Amino acid sequence: MTVPDYIKSYGHRPIAGTDLRPHPRCPFCGQGLTIVAGKTDYTTGHFAHFPNSGFCPSKEPAGRPYLRLSPVDPDPAHGDYLRKMFWKYWERIYGRLCDLVPYLSLNEFIALIREANRLRVWEYRHLELWEIPYVFVLLADFPAKTGIKKNGKPCRIYWFRFWYAPSVKSIDDLWIRPEIEPTLFRASFEQPRRDGTIPGYDKLVKFYPIHQDRDYLANQPEDPIKGWVRKEVEERLPMLLRF
């Protein structure tokens, strides 16, 4: 709902007395919002969080990936185990990542592994193999131009970004299990026309929760992996995984 829509439906704040209008709320964090007037009047304004409001992903990911911290209590032995299991199940993990990120390119897949190495993601003490795709997508944004191309043109229309519900501020928070499992969101942003430009919250087109399938490792990917992709991954992966 835009500010003009809100005012059309509920009117302006009363000049005196109690404001009985329903409070607009942020679709990401559920916190109340206030209307900030535009240059002419409130009908050209926008919704904003109150000053000193709590954490909200919509304010955080405007210019960078969501989670970028290395583990504070690393477990190298667990990291070795996960890398070996990743090698065993890479096709299914790759398939799940392709489900999460439309038109995921092989270069992006390799880049995510390198980023996981740099941040020592494998060494998170409580990380399970099935969770890897849902953590990997937090490590980077996915612009249209880095995805799969056809005839030299990107197949991906939007710039994708992922984050968890506001209760999760770091990867460690994923293992502090609340009563309800944290929700993973995928957001689509307008692809900037200029190179070197990162879309902010104002360029958000849509966002939606992503189902976190726990059982995908038991099934072969629905779309068979192309032979050249398998060949290149199997040649490069052992070195990337530091076997």
Q: What is the mean pLDDT of residues 16-37?
A: 80
Q: What is the mean pLDDT of residues 139-167?
A: 90
Sign of the CA dihedral 204, 209, 215, 218?
negative
Q: Which is higher by pLDDT, 136 or 182? A: 136
Q: Which is higher by pLDDT, 198 or 45? A: 198
Instruction: Give the model confidence (pLDDT) of 63-108 as tens digits.
Output: 455 555 678 889 999 999 999 999 999 999 999 999 999 999 999 9
Q: What is the mean pLDDT of residues 170-174?
A: 74
Q: How confident is the model at residue 57 (pLDDT cuts 50, 70, 90)?
A: low
Q: What is the mean pLDDT of residues 219-236?
A: 89
Domain chopping of the chain, boundaries: 3-54, 76-240
Q: What is the 3-state secondary structure (H, E, C) of the chain?
A: CCHHHHHHHHCCCCCCCCCCCCCCECCCCCCEEEEECCCCCHHHCEEEECCCCCCCHHHCCCCCCCCCCCCCCCCHHHHHHHHHHHHHHHHHHHHHHHHHCCCCCHHHHHHHHHHHHHHCHHHCCCCCHHHHHHHHCCCCCECHHHCCEECCEECCCCEEEEEECCCCCCHHHHHCCCCCCCCEEEEEECCCCCCCCCCCHHHEEEEEEECCCCCHHHCCCCCCCCHHHHHHHHHHHHHHCCC
- Residue 121: predicted pLDDT: 93
Considering the chain, what percentage of its residues have pLDDT values greater than 70? Answer: 86
Q: What is the mean pLDDT of residues 141-166?
A: 91
- Residue 13: predicted pLDDT: 76
Q: What is the mean pLDDT of residues 201-209?
A: 82
Q: What is the mean pLDDT of residues 115-142?
A: 93
pLDDT at 166 over 80: no
Helices 76-100 & 106-119 angle (0-180, nearest 10): 150
- Residue 155: predicted pLDDT: 96
Average pLDDT, the chain: 84
Q: What is the mean pLDDT of residues 97-125?
A: 94
